[in-house]
Amino acid sequence: VNYRSGGLRLNPNLYACGKVCLSLLNTWTGSGCEMWNPSTSTMLQVLVSIQALVLNAKPYFNEPGHSMYANTPLGEKLSLAYNEETFLLSCRTMLYSLRNPPK
């Protein structure tokens, strides 16, 4: 799985180079059923995992070490600031995609 980022990092799990960081894709640490298994894993599993684990309302807390701030006033403030920056980067990514559509 590769994300066309336009060189911008919109999420702790979506790298500027296009890499999608998720244990199911074997791009992050995981164990057992969290890892890709060619005989049992499916594309539906990948898509649902990306939707639930990556594209969530508070991606700030996806970053390792940030979960300790979850449900705290500081964490909520940092998460809101992250989302505001992500909105601006998302707009830039959309403009990039419109100007440079896939071939």
Q: Which of 17, 21, 33, 91 is catalytic?
A: 21
Active site annotation includes 91: no
d(CA 71, CA 20): 26
Residue 11: what are its φ and ψ, rounded to 5°? -160, 145
Instruction: Give me the DSSP letters along 24-48.
Output: GGTSS---GGGS--TTT--HHHHHH
- Taking the C-alpha atoms of residue 78 and residue 30, their distance in angstroms, rounded to an integer, is 27
Q: What are the catalytic residues?
A: 21
